[in-house]
Structure formats: structure tokens, C-alpha cells
């Protein structure tokens, strides 16, 4: 019995290190950085075994929002890309912030091949934290606020990543949940670009 409890604890600890629980989508955040229980977004849905399931219709991005500096950013701004990586993250999420440096490197490596990353966050009142994180990590890809129908593609965890084409059509069969290493993301990105 002690072994089972130890295994469950170890699995829970591992999951917490890979991703931060809590829905991203305009939810209030307390002073400790934890989101409260209410949500305005839509999950992909959860299967009976509590694994995140993909929607039956992958969907279409349709948004009009602003970047971190308040400049307009819409679905039309991604039309020249072959593959768009939409990375939902929050400044209070350690694993999210931990992979941003690798994402910045990958963007620089693949942007000339039609690859675009959109960093999407929704926590209100943390623009200065976001600005500091993207500056510290040399981020040159667009970092935008969640808007339009983006909440439809978020899961109960951050980071969550979906892939789309330049028209905004979601091309990933299911979301990538949790942070990945540089090499893991590189393999995923190369696979999508090869199919584009």
C-alpha cells in the first residue's frame, strides 16, 4: 500500500513540474498567483480517465487582440506563415517560463521557413512581468493577449500548445500539454513543416 501511495505522489509531482494546472482564460488570480475556480474559457474536454481529449472538429482561430505593447494583432497577421505554433502560457507558471528561451531560439531557427510562434497569455495585470520575461529570454516572436475564440483551444493546463496553418485552421490532432525540451519541440516543428 505504501508503494502505491508513493507512486501516486511521484506521478502527481512529475505532472506538476511539467505543467501548471488551472485554466488560462481570463480567470482571476490571487496574490499567490493561483487562479480561482471560475472560468470563462472552453476546455478541449476531458476523457473519462482525466486525459485531455481533442475536439471532434479541430477548429479555426479567429481573433482580434493586442500584443504586449497594445498594438492590434489579428488572425490576418498570421496569413503568411505555413505553420503557426500557438503557445498558451502564463507569467506565473514556472514550466511555461522555463521553456520560453528554447522557443525563442526555435523561432529564430525556423522563421525563414514559414514558421511562426504566437505566445498567448491571459492573466490580467501582469503585463510588466510578461515584458520582463520576454526581454530576459530574447523573444522576438509575437506575444499577444488572449482574445477572440482562443479560449476554445486552451486546456485546463499551461503551457498548452496547438498548431495551425496560416489561414488559422488548427492542424494538430490534439494539444501538446506541458513544457517540452528544445529537442522535443524541434522534432515536432520539423514534422509540421515537412507536412506544410
Give the per-residue pLDDT at 109. 98
Instruction: Find all residues with CB under 8 Å of 48, minimum gap 6, and list them.
Output: none
Q: How would residue 38 be classed by pLDDT, with cut points 50, 70 and 90? A: very low
Residue 37 exposed, middle or buried by CB count within 10 Å (0-12, 13-18, 19+): exposed
Question: What is the pLDDT confidence band of residue 20, given thresholds at 50, 70 and 90?
Answer: confident
Separation of alpha carbons 157 and 84, rounded Å: 20
Q: Report whether pLDDT(82) > 50.
A: yes
CATH of domain 20-195: 3.40.30.10
Looking at residue 154, what is its pLDDT?
85
Mean pLDDT along residues 6-34: 41
pLDDT band at 57 (very low <50, low <70, confident <90, very high): low
Strands 115-121 and 83-88: parallel
Q: Cell triple for residue 127?
A: 503585463
More confident call, 172 vs 43: 172
Exposed (0-12), middle (13-18) or buried (19+): which is 162, by Cβ within 10 Å? buried
Q: What is the pLDDT of residue 19?
A: 53
List the domain boundaries for the chain. Answer: 20-195
How far is it, in rounded angstroms, from Cα 19 to Cα 175?
Answer: 13
Long-range CB contacts (within 8 A, 24+) of 66-75: 66/144, 66/145, 66/147, 67/142, 67/143, 67/144, 67/145, 68/127, 68/130, 68/131, 68/134, 68/143, 68/144, 68/145, 73/142, 73/144, 75/148, 75/168
Beta-ladder partners of 177 = 160
Residue-wise pLDDT for 140-182, tens only, equals 999 999 999 998 988 889 999 999 999 999 999 999 999 999 9
Amino acid at each position: 500500500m505504501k508503494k502505491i501511495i508513493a507512486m501516486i505522489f511521484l506521478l502527481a509531482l512529475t505532472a506538476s513540474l511539467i505543467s501548471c494546472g488551472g485554466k488560462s482564460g481570463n480567470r482571476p488570480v490571487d496574490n499567490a498567483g493561483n487562479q480561482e475556480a471560475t472560468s470563462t474559457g472552453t476546455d478541449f474536454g476531458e476523457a473519462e480517465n482525466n486525459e485531455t481529449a481533442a475536439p471532434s472538429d479541430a477548429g479555426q482561430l479567429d481573433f482580434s487582440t493586442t500584443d504586449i505593447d497594445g498594438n492590434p494583432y489579428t488572425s490576418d497577421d498570421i496569413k503568411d506563415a505555413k505553420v503557426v505554433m500557438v503557445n498558451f502560457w502564463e507569467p506565473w507558471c514556472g514550466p511555461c517560463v522555463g521553456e520560453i528561451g528554447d522557443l525563442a531560439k526555435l523561432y529564430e531557427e525556423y522563421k525563414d521557413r514559414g514558421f511562426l510562434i504566437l505566445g498567448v497569455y491571459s492573466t490580467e495585470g501582469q503585463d510588466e512581468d510578461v515584458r520582463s520575461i520576454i526581454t530576459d529570454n530574447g523573444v522576438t516572436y509575437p506575444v499577444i493577449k488572449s482574445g477572440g475564440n482562443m479560449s476554445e483551444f486552451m486546456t485546463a493546463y499551461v503551457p498548452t500548445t496547438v498548431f495551425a496553418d496560416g489561414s488559422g485552421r488548427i492542424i494538430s490532432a490534439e494539444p501538446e500539454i506541458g513544457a517540452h525540451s528544445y529537442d522535443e519541440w524541434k522534432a515536432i516543428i520539423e514534422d509540421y513543416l515537412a507536412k506544410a
